[in-house]
Copies of this chain bind each other. A is one copy, B any other.
Amino acid sequence: MSTQDRLIESTRELLWERGYVGTSPKAIQERAGAGQGSMYHHFKGKPDLALAAITRTAEELRGAAERALGGAGSAYERIAAYLTRERDVLRGCPVGRLTMDPDVVADDRLRAPVDETLGWLRGRLAQIVQEGLDQGEFPPGLDPDETAALLVATVQGGYVLARSSGSPEAFDTAVRGALALLRPHA
C-alpha cells in the first residue's frame, strides 16, 4: 500500500472514530506512519485529504448496501437483508456521522459525497418498494419515497440510540419495529 493510500485509509478510520473536527493532520500522519512533508506533498491540506477519504468511504458504503439490496428474494426480503446486514453498530455510520460535523456541512465539496450517497440509498430503496407495490406485496397506498426515507432514517437514528445507550440492542429494536410495520401480512 502506497503512502498516499495509507494516508487515505488512516483518514477514513479517524473520520469514522472522531469526525472531521476531531481529526488532526498530525494524528493522520502518525497512524499512516508518514511525515508532515509527505502528507502535504500528496494532498493540499486537511479538506483535500478528507475529500479523498470520504469519497472512498461513500463508494464502499454503496457497494455494501447494493450487495444486500440487489440480492435475490422479494422486495420485503431484500429490505430486511439491508436493514439486518452485519454492522459495527456502535461505531455508527461512517457517512451519516459526517452530517453532525459543522465543518463538513459548511463545505459544499465535503457535503456533496455524503448527500449523494444518502440520496442514492433513498432512491434505491424507493425502487425496491415500488417493485413490492407492483408485485402486490405492499398495500397500494404506500408511498415509495416516504417509505425509503423512513428506512434510511431508521438506520441512521438506530445508530444514535445504540451509541447513546452503549449497546447495539436499540438499533436492532428500531429495525424490528420498521420491519414489523412493513411486513406483508395479507
Chain A: residues with CB nearer than 8 A to chain B? 17-19, 21-22, 92-93, 96-97, 99-103, 105, 111, 114-115, 118-119, 122, 141-143, 145-161, 163-166, 170, 173-174, 176-178, 180-182
**Given known contacts A174-B152, A180-B141, is B96 in contact with A160 (CB within 8 Å)?**
yes
**Given known contacts A21-B22, A100-B92, A100-B97, is B150 in contact with A118 (CB within 8 Å)?**
no
Contact of A145 among B119, B158, B173 (CB under 8 A): B173
Chain B residues contacting A93 (CB-CB under 8 Å) are 160
Q: Are A164 and B99 in contact (CB under 8 A)?
A: yes
Interface SS, A side: helix
Q: Are A161 and B152 in contact (CB under 8 A)?
A: yes
Bound complex: CA A18 to CA B156 (Å)? 19
Chain B residues contacting A99 (CB-CB under 8 Å) are 92, 159-160, 163-164
Bound complex: CA A152 to CA B102 (Å)? 23
Chain B residues contacting A160 (CB-CB under 8 Å) are 93, 96, 99-100, 118, 153, 156-157
Bound complex: CA A39 to CA B177 (Å)? 45
Apart from A19-B102, A99-B164, A153-B157: 13 A-B pairs, beta carbons within 8 A: A19-B19, A100-B160, A100-B163, A105-B163, A111-B166, A119-B164, A147-B177, A149-B174, A153-B154, A153-B155, A153-B177, A156-B156, A157-B157
- Nearest Cβ distance between residue A22 and chain B, in whole angstroms? 4
